[in-house]
A and B are shown apart, each in its own frame.
Chain A
Amino acid sequence: MPPIIEVQNLVKEFRTFRRREGVLGALQNLFVREYMTVHAVDHISFSIEPGEMVGYIGANGAGKSTTIKILTGILSPTGGRVVSNGFVPYRERRHYTKHIGVVFGQRTQLWWDIAVIESFKLLKEIYEISDQDYQQRLDVFSEILNLKEYLHTPVRKLSLGERMRCDLAASLLHNPPVLFLDEPTIGLDVVAKERIREFLKEINRTEGTTVLLTTHDLSDIEELSRRIVIIDKGRILFDGDLEQMKARLAKYNQVKFFLKDRSQVPRLAQIETDGIVCQRVDDLTYVIRFDRGEHSSANVIRQIVNTLQVRDLLVEEEPIEEIVKRIYLSGEVI
């Protein structure tokens, strides 16, 4: 099957003018403007297969939202090629938007002062959803997202989590083949996040909806998508399988252990050889972080249990946040 979204050499430049400081500068600004070009997106290419769930991550200002805006047709690129679902989004926006779902986490597409159900009814007309499809999807969504109690509440009275669930349902009422989510879990509590993730998984499984989501919460990606695209300063630094990324880029492992009692503390020094350092967490809990290339977990554990009396011991992989942080900091394509 051909890819459902194809992006080739996408470029987006913004021209902003540099504001000078002070009164004189402000006056100068009136007459002579000094422009500078910002490359929000700088030659990006990727393609997404139908039914894929892709996590798109990057620091603030990395170009995530710009990409999503181009893909949803509300921003035109400076250069490059975009085809999504058979459309060139920014050229055929009005037809194209019939076939996509969009959620911007920071905004709502629901009408602020009217009950949620009224917004849904309006969307039914906008997207020309048949009575039967509408009723069926509304039932399913209300069930999974637990919307029933809010349907008759005006949107302005909903909490962020409730609103987000309604927005998500709204974006999927017309069963679009592609769903774009820009920070769908921003500001949500753990339970609300969990519910939204479950819902997305369910929709992806049953309807085969292709999902592209941006997020700052890497646990979203771990829960939802196998594929991760990391962007920084407008360029893609990594595009691939999440597990592969971990296997290739996780540098450190750590062993956390809990001492039996305080009498063991003086003996910690005995295992601190070969560049192994014990970090104190609390009186009885310590962590050893080591390079996977230089030490094996088995050796480290052996040394610990041979030297110390421990109550418990845990081996942990380097958290994905750490790996991603390293990728951002290095700023190099991997």
Chain B
Amino acid sequence: MAPPGIAIAVPNNRYSPAFARTARLCLAFARVGFVNTLAFRLRYVTGIVTYFIYVSVYYFIWKAIYEHSASIEGFDFAHLLTYIGVGWIIRSFYFNTIDQDLAYQVIEGRLAMDLIKPVNIQLMYVSRAAGESVFRLALLTIPTALVLFLVYPLRLPAGFGHAGAFFVSVILSFLIVAAINFAVGTFALRLQSILGLMRAKFFLLELFSGLLLPMTFFPHIFQKILSVMPFEYISYVPMLIYLGKLNGGGLARAIGIQIFWVVILMAIGDGLWRWSTRKVIIQGG
């Protein structure tokens, strides 16, 4: 028989708006991401060196190319150098390893631990990655920026307005990358190993995000195709804003499309997650 003081499921009648609750939860996950990264802070010392080397390589390549022409596809050398340099700087902030995190979770058989938690899994992974990114901002992004601005003649943002819009745009870049990585990661549930998929995604992002060279350098038809995909909104668009090449309505529209992609990609991620867990739930982990 039931002893006294028995606990039965009671609906949570403590009133708090869904949005505030979600925000609190995201913050808590971000905190864990932040604290977790703290344990691996030494990694970032080598990170700064790596980023410096990357940008240096591109500096010399582009310098050689610009020997013969003052402007290519609307970019002069100073612009292009800033495009590449600052592009790498923001990459150190917006990139994340959600796909890899999910893959490990599956390989190590820890997926059940995610499934027994009453939370939106995508929200959990993205928030945690956000915490990591904030951490990297302090330990990797800012030091790398200091070094690069000291060594190379990089330009400052086109203006205060552009700097603000650039900041918003980079945060949206983070969300786009996070959503793409989550969607890729969900395939680990069905495929077990997604190493190949992750590599493919990596090169796709490096090339089509505009990190290596501006979209205007691609063949025209390619540009058309890529403009209806989310990739160029990761690096190309924020860099155009930074350089002052997007203004007024064009700028607002670009940020609007970024938001659009965040919403769409996250919806896709949620759908993929549901589709993948259904299989796990039927077949066992």
Chain A residues proximal to chain B, CB less than 8 Å: 1, 4, 14-15, 49-51, 66, 69, 72-76, 85-87, 90, 93-100, 102, 104, 107-109, 111, 113-115, 118-119, 121-122, 125-128, 130, 154, 175-177, 204-209
- Whether a CB of chain A sits under 8 angstroms from the CB of B28 is yes
| Count of inter-chain pairs, beta carbons less than 8 A | 114
Number of B residues whose C-beta is below 8 Å from A? 38
B interface, by DSSP: helix, strand, loop or mixed?
Answer: loop
How far, in Å, is B132 (CB) from chain A's closest CB? 12
Nearest to B4 among chain A residues (CB) is A208
Nearest to A180 among chain B residues (CB) is B116
Q: Are A109 and B9 in contact (CB under 8 A)?
A: no
Cα separation A4 to B8 with both chains bound (whole Å):
9
Q: Are A74 and B112 in contact (CB under 8 A)?
A: yes
Q: Are A114 and B6 in contact (CB under 8 A)?
A: no
How far, in Å, is A295 (CB) from chain B's closest CB? 39
Given A14-B284, A114-B36, A125-B24: A175 and B115 interface contact (C-beta under 8 Å): no
Given A50-B6, A126-B118: A111 and B36 interface contact (C-beta under 8 Å): yes
Residues of B within 8 A of A130 (CB): 14
CB interface residues, B 193-238, toward A, < 8 Å: none
How far, in Å, is A157 (CB) from chain B's closest CB? 11
Pull 29 A–B residue pairs with CB atoms less than 8 Å apart, ordered by A: A14-B283, A49-B1, A51-B3, A69-B284, A72-B116, A73-B115, A74-B281, A75-B282, A87-B9, A93-B115, A97-B116, A97-B118, A102-B116, A104-B113, A107-B109, A108-B113, A109-B117, A111-B32, A113-B39, A114-B36, A114-B39, A122-B29, A122-B32, A126-B117, A175-B7, A177-B6, A204-B3, A207-B5, A209-B7
Contact of B28 among A107, A122, A208 (CB under 8 A): A122
Q: Are B112 and A66 in contact (CB under 8 A)?
A: no
Residues of A within 8 A of B35 (CB): 114-115, 118
Cα separation A154 to B39 with both chains bound (whole Å):
10
- Whether a CB of chain A sits under 8 angstroms from the CB of B138 is no
Cα separation A97 to B112 with both chains bound (whole Å):
12
- Whether a CB of chain A sits under 8 angstroms from the CB of B42 is no
How far, in Å, is A292 (CB) from chain B's closest CB? 32
Given A114-B36, A121-B28: A74 and B14 interface contact (C-beta under 8 Å): no
Residues of B within 8 A of A90 (CB): 281
Cα separation A130 to B7 with both chains bound (whole Å):
17
Cα separation A121 to B25 with both chains bound (whole Å):
11
How far, in Å, is B274 (CB) from chain A's closest CB? 11
Q: Are A177 and B8 in contact (CB under 8 A)?
A: yes
How far, in Å, is A329 (CB) from chain B's closest CB? 28
Chain B 16-54 interface 0/1 with A at a Cβ cutoff of 8 Å (1 = within): 100001001100110110011001000000000000000
Residues of A within 8 A of B283 (CB): 14-15
Would you list the 5 A-B pairs with minimal beta carbon distance, nearest first? A208-B6, A125-B28, A98-B118, A99-B9, A177-B7
- Whether a CB of chain A sits under 8 angstroms from the CB of B69 is no
By CB atoms of chain A within 10 A, which of B7, B31, B109, B110 has the most?
Answer: B7
Q: Are A66 and B284 in contact (CB under 8 A)?
A: yes
Q: Are A207 and B7 in contact (CB under 8 A)?
A: yes
Given A114-B35, A126-B25, A176-B7: A75 and B119 interface contact (C-beta under 8 Å): no
Residues of A within 8 A of B9 (CB): 85-87, 99, 177
Chain B 105-140 interface 0/1 with A at a Cβ cutoff of 8 Å (1 = within): 000011011011111100000000000000000000
Residues of B within 8 A of A69 (CB): 112, 284
Cα separation A86 to B283 with both chains bound (whole Å):
25
- Whether a CB of chain A sits under 8 angstroms from the CB of B64 is no
Residues of B within 8 A of A99 (CB): 9
Residues of A within 8 A of B112 (CB): 69, 74, 104, 107
Residues of B within 8 A of A125 (CB): 24-25, 28
Q: Are A128 and B12 in contact (CB under 8 A)?
A: yes
Q: Are A74 and B285 in contact (CB under 8 A)?
A: yes
Given contacts A122-B32, A125-B24, 11 further A-B contacts (CB under 8 A): A76-B282, A87-B9, A90-B281, A95-B118, A97-B115, A104-B113, A107-B110, A118-B31, A118-B35, A122-B31, A207-B7
